[in-house]
């Protein structure tokens, strides 16, 4: 993942000091993009160990439509959830049950699968989570927003746009705000997993992943960790093997995914900005 390390260097060199919602402070740049050829390997960092099980579990939780951390086998969202585990209408709700004015819902993932199978030349193969009606009020805490029926946090990875070229499935993932040290490795791997799963479901080959970022930032309490990571040399990317083809995009399980040849350098711990 040379492109990722170059992005970190870019932010350290060119980032502006900014205040942020968490009060931590960041170095930030605006508008960055890079591309990954998925045929050359699965884009999971090798310059530090990334917990692949948590990546898979969170994505499958999103796809299930759940918005409660009690259904998630990872501690990723715990700080923002209410006592009963609720996070409000976050990613899974918007992806699978977007509410309409007549009281029904739209499953955007079904829409994507249908187009990939039946109209793969369409320029409208996308889903997103930016439902303005349910965005949180920035003057309130995440917990208070959930109590008022809003999202605990607004979506960061807000748009997934797919295109099929020469039977290869490509994805541009648009992220409005990106914690580069902790969040971005998860976002990239999960976006790649979308390509692998949908390609399998729709009889396509994996193509290119484009990561497109609005506010790309490094938190002030992650700068030393970033510098440590930049001293390391990336090694060969692993391969992602899917051990069976489920009946639908909703039927994948953790054990279906196998990383082959993942030999990362040691993990680098850092505090999540709350």
What's the pLDDT at 1? 79
DSSP state of 69: G
For residues 226-249, average pLDDT: 97
Q: What is the span of the domain harbouring residue 168?
A: 2-260
Please check whether residue 101 lies inside any domain of the structure.
yes
Is 236 assigned a ligand-binding role in the annotation?
no
Whether 181 shows a pLDDT value over 90: the answer reads yes
Q: Which residues pair with 174 in a beta bridge?
A: 159, 212
Is 21 assigned a ligand-binding role in the annotation?
yes
Is 244 assigned a ligand-binding role in the annotation?
no
What's the pLDDT at 74? 86
pLDDT in tens, 122-132: 999 999 999 99
Whether 167 shows a pLDDT value over 90: the answer reads yes
For residues 197-218, average pLDDT: 98
What tokens were used for 36? 């990954």
Please check whether residue 272 lies inside any domain of the structure.
no
Please check whether residue 81 lies inside any domain of the structure.
yes
Where helices occur in the chain by DSSP H, the ranges are 2-14, 52-64, 91-96, 108-118, 142-147, 183-201, 223-230
β-strands 168-179, 205-219: how paired?
parallel
Which residue's structure tokens are 């790309």?
216
CB 158 within 8 A of CB 175: yes
Is 267 assigned a ligand-binding role in the annotation?
no
pLDDT interval class at 186 (50, 70, 90): very high
Please check whether residue 267 lies inside any domain of the structure.
no
What tokens were used for 242? 């899917």
Domain count along the chain: 1
pLDDT interval class at 211 (50, 70, 90): very high
Tell me which residues are annotated as active site: 156
Please check whether residue 19 lies inside any domain of the structure.
yes
Is 34 assigned a ligand-binding role in the annotation?
no
Instruction: For 160-215, give the DSSP string.
Output: EEEEEETTEEEEEEEEEEEETTTHHHHHHHHHHHHHHHHHHHTT-EEEEEEEEEEE
The span from the CA of 203 to the CA of 252, in Å, is 16
Of 30, 15, 37, 44, nearest to 189 by C-alpha is 44
CATH number, domain of 31, equals 3.30.572.10
Q: Which residues pair with 172 in a beta bridge?
A: 161, 210
Please check whether residue 269 lies inside any domain of the structure.
no
The span from the CA of 201 to the CA of 193, in Å, is 12
Is 232 assigned a ligand-binding role in the annotation?
no
Is 157 assigned a ligand-binding role in the annotation?
no
pLDDT in tens, 36-88: 999 999 999 999 999 999 999 999 999 999 999 999 988 899 999 999 999 99
Whether 115 shows a pLDDT value over 90: the answer reads yes
End-to-end CA gap in the chain: 27
Please check whether residue 179 lies inside any domain of the structure.
yes
pLDDT in tens, 20-43: 888 999 999 999 999 999 999 999
Task: Assign 35 to helix, strand or coil.
Answer: strand
Please check whether residue 46 lies inside any domain of the structure.
yes
What's the pLDDT at 147? 98
Whether 273 shows a pLDDT value over 90: the answer reads no
What tokens were used for 205? 């080959």
What's the pLDDT at 22? 87
Of 52, 48, 6, 51, nearest to 29 by C-alpha is 6
């Amino acid at each position: 993942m040379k492109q990722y390390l170059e992005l970190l260097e870019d932010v350290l060199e060119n980032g502006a000091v900014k205040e942020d919602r968490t009060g931590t402070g960041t170095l930030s740049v605006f508008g960055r993009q890079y591309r990954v050829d998925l045929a050359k390997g699965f884009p999971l960092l090798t310059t530090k160990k990334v917990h692949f099980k948590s990546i898979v579990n969170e994505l499958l939780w999103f796809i299930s439509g759940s918005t409660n951390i009690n259904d998630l086998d990872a501690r990723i969202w715990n700080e923002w959830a209410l006592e009963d585990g609720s996070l409000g209408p976050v990613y899974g709700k918007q992806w699978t049950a977007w509410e309409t004015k007549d009281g029904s819902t739209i499953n955007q993932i079904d829409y994507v699968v249908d187009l990939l199978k039946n109209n793969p030349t369409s320029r409208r193969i996308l889903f997103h989570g930016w439902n303005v009606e349910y965005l949180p009020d920035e003057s309130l805490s995440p917990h208070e927003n959930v109590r008022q029926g809003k999202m605990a946090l607004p979506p960061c990875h807000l748009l997934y746009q797919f295109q099929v070229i020469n039977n290869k499935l490509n994805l541009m993932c648009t992220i409005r705000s990106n914690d580069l040290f902790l969040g971005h490795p998860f976002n990239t791997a999960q976006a790649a997993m979308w390509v692998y799963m949908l390609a399998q479901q729709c009889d396509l080959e994996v193509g290119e992943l484009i990561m497109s970022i609005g506010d790309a930032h490094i938190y002030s309490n992650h700068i030393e960790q970033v510098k440590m990571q930049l001293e390391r040399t990336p090694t060969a990317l692993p391969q992602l093997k899917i051990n069976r083809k489920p009946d639908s995009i909703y039927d994948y399980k953790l054990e279906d995914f196998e990383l082959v040849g993942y030999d990362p350098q040691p993990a680098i711990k850092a505090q999540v900005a709350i």
